[in-house]
Structures are given as C-alpha cells and as structure tokens.
A and B are shown apart, each in its own frame.
Chain A
C-alpha cells in the first residue's frame, strides 16, 4: 500500500536530504551538435537531454496555422529504469508529451512564426523520479539555445507528501510510495504557472503550502538555468 514505506528517518530522507532540499542539480547546454538548441539537466540520478529542431516550414501545407505549431515528444529510454521499458510511445508518454508542450507553449512567442513547426524532443536517459520536470527544464533551456523568441524561461520542479511530510524534488522510491505528488512549472519572472499536475490526497491548505515551496524552488532553479545559458556565451 502506498504511504506505508518508511521514507523519512530521524528527519532525513533515505538519500540523506532534508525534506525541503533538492538533489544535486547539473545543467549544461549545447550537448547535441546537430540540434538547433539542446540541453542536459540532471536532478540527482534523473537525467534528461532535450533537443530542439526548427522552427521550419510546416508541410503538408493544409496543416499550417497562423501561429507556430509546437510538437513535443517525451520518452523514457529502454535502459533508463530497473526493468527494461519497451521502446515507443505508451499512454503515459503521450500524456506527458502533451503536458510538457502545454508547459512550454505559454512562454514561446507563437505568433512570430506562422505556418511553421518547432520540434522539441525530451529524452530521459535515466529515470529516478521527477522526470517530467527535469525534462521540462532541459526543454526550456534547449528552446532558449535555439534562439526561439520567448517571454521567459520555463522552470519546473516536483513537490510531494511522504510519511505525512511535505518534501521537495521526489526521487524514484519517494515517487512510488508517496501520499501525493505534484509536478509544477512556471515562468518565474511573472509568477505564471504553466504546468500543474497532482495525484494523491491533499487538503487545500497543503496544496497552498506546496505551491509556495515549489515556486520558491523554481526561482533558484531559474538562476541556475540563466547561469547555464550565460556560460555558453563566455
């Protein structure tokens, strides 16, 4: 049963973190040579590589719209998890691709590229919880590196409830045994929330508290993203 596994002992999580502590975060840009923009983001053992191709003209013509079409594909590689995941697009990855697209789209100036398509790929190289938010951070960096006009970066993290305690940045075992987990992304400079998902059981007050924790964490991650981009132009 969910929620019965001991995940916090003497105030410390199994990997030694305090409840509101992130795992080690690493961010790099320009990691895929061929792509117009790319990035690598690591949250502890969760590793995502994102690459962007485009904008290019959308064909066939009848699919063209008066604004940029953003296509996102999220996928977890076969070797990224304990039991081999068969390759290809399952129901989970179809939903997550859509959710990530909806997290990124509000930040992109879609009207600048009518009749065009932008392809965003998020590959989870290794999965240890919080893969969609790690991937969203990478995708946002890749978009910026591709020179896509954006209103802001998109920054994401996860919050959850384990052993009746609210925690930041769930790892795999915490995710699998959580009482609730929430994925969250925002455009930090204007406090605009672009991704918000939750499953589990929470009261309104708990949700408010978790949103505060997540948005504070996003602001720190935002600084790291900006630093990663600046580093590429030194």
Chain B
C-alpha cells in the first residue's frame, strides 16, 4: 500500500519514481546470438526487466490453406525465477496474450518471408518457433518481448537439411526477413501518457495500449487492462507510439 501511494504521489507531481520523463524508456541493452544451440537468440534488458528470446527451426507439414508457406509459432513463458508471484505451470492468460500480440506484430508486418520457407509444397516447410522467456520482470514485458523476438530473428540461420534430416549446427543461410517490427506500449494515467512502465507503475496503472509498428505503419493494436481510453486519446497514443518506435528500431 505504501509503495502504491508513493508512486501515485510522484506521478501526480508530474514525475516518475526513477526520475524519467513520461515519454522516456529506461536504458535498453540488446545482445544477440547468446545461445549457441538456438538458430537465433537475443537478450533484451529494459532497465531491470530481462527477456530472452530463442528461435528454433523444425521441419513440419504446412497448414492446408498455405501449402507453400513456412509456419510461425510464438510462445511466451514467465519463468518462476522472474517474479515472486510467478508459479510454474501451464501458461496463464497474461502469457498467452503477450505471445499472441507479439505474434501479430511479426506476422502482420510480414517480418519473416514465410513464402521462402517451403521445402516441398503441402509436405514440408520450415516452422519458425519463437520462445520468449521472462528472466526478470520489472515491467513492460510486451515491448521487451517484441524487441527480443525481432532481435533474435535478425540473427536466425536456417540449418542444413539433407536426406530428410536437419543437420544441427550447420547452416544453409540466413532466415529471410523484410521488416523489423517493434511494440510500443502506451499507458494512460489521468490525463497523462507514459511509456515503459516499471513494475511499481504497472501496479497502479491499469489502462495500456500496445501498438505494433514497422516502417511507420501500424501492424498490431491491443488495449489492455480494466480501464478505458477516450476517443480523443487515440491520436495521442498513436503519435507517441510511432515516435518512440523510431528509437526502439535503432537499438535492434
């Protein structure tokens, strides 16, 4: 209770608990290729929030309606090490929502050239599995998760495939990409809009909108939380997200 009151008091004075401006991200550190066993990987630190995304490729049967396209699967797990409230077990609604919004940003921006991932039409295509794992949760997992996924895709290589076998550790080339989507989550507190909430801020702010952006266009939107935004907030939120997306793109 004490912490919540303090966070509110600071926000009401027009400041944030760690001294940032409302539209300022924490320090972002992106490290790529941190897991040799994965076909692609990245670690993203947003202040004390830490997320690792790993990409694995497998050969599988395509979906019947897209017989010549590779398959994208995004999964997210909040590891029990990441926060005292997280327990091991099947994925909860927050994990599923996070994975599905990141999936949308990547899929709808057509970030991966899935049409180049066909091995044998209707029979064999590459499946791109992105697993997003939260190592430490200090807020704004959505933006960190998308950064990690996009950064991991940037360095993903396709394994060699000979005589119906994947040769792990040997590669035929890079995963073909065309876009670098990022997600900017904008939160509303009273009449103010903030980005990159810390965990303590998330505890008291329950209205957020995640906006997926690539090449100046919007590729995903998800309003979150049990609050509302006004119709006239929509333009402000979009403008802030588009502006901040430029910064995020640079760190990948």
Bound Cα distance from A122 to B67, whole angstroms: 34
A95 touches B100 (CB 8 A): yes
- Is residue A35 contacting chain B, with contact meaning CB distance below 8 A? no
Interface residues on A, range: 35 or more
Interface residues on B, range: 35 or more
B244 smallest CB distance to A (angstroms): 14
A106 touches B217 (CB 8 A): no
- Is residue B238 contacting chain A, with contact meaning CB distance below 8 A? yes
A195 touches B223 (CB 8 A): yes
B221 touches A196 (CB 8 A): yes
Instruction: Identify B225's interface contact among A102, A186, A199, A202, CB under 8 A.
Output: A102
Instruction: Identify B228's interface contact among A97, A193, A204, CB under 8 A.
Output: A193
B223 touches A186 (CB 8 A): no
Knowing A95-B97, A207-B238, A211-B234 are in contact, say whether A202-B222 is a contact too (CB < 8 A).
no
- Is residue B96 contacting chain A, with contact meaning CB distance below 8 A? yes
Which residues 80-125 in B have Cβ within 8 Å of A in the complex?
Answer: 91, 93, 96-97, 99-100, 104, 107-109, 115
Residues 211-242 of chain B, each 1 if its beta carbon lies under 8 Å from chain A, else 0: 00000111111111111111111110011001
A197 touches B221 (CB 8 A): yes
B108 touches A106 (CB 8 A): no
B93 touches A98 (CB 8 A): yes
Which residues 178-228 in B have Cβ within 8 Å of A in the complex?
Answer: 209, 216-228
Residues of A within 8 A of B109 (CB): 201
Knowing A201-B109, A201-B218 are in contact, say whether A106-B228 is a contact too (CB < 8 A).
yes
Instruction: Identify B221's interface contact among A106, A110, A182, A186, CB under 8 A.
Output: A182
Residues of B within 8 A of A99 (CB): 97, 222-223
B230 touches A192 (CB 8 A): yes
B205 smallest CB distance to A (angstroms): 14
B218 touches A202 (CB 8 A): yes
Instruction: Identify A192's interface contact among B216, B228, B239, B242, CB under 8 A.
Output: B228
Return the chain A residue nearest B231 by Cβ. Answer: A191
A208 touches B230 (CB 8 A): no
Bound Cα distance from A177 to B19, whole angstroms: 46
- B: residues with CB less than 8 A from A are 91, 93, 96-97, 99-100, 104, 107-109, 115, 209, 216-235, 238-239, 242
CB-defined A-B contacts under 8 Å, sample of 16: A91-B91, A95-B97, A95-B100, A102-B223, A182-B221, A190-B230, A191-B231, A193-B229, A193-B231, A196-B223, A196-B234, A199-B104, A199-B220, A204-B235, A204-B239, A204-B242
Nearest 9 pairs of A and B residues by beta carbon: A198-B221, A105-B226, A192-B228, A196-B223, A106-B228, A191-B231, A199-B104, A98-B93, A194-B228
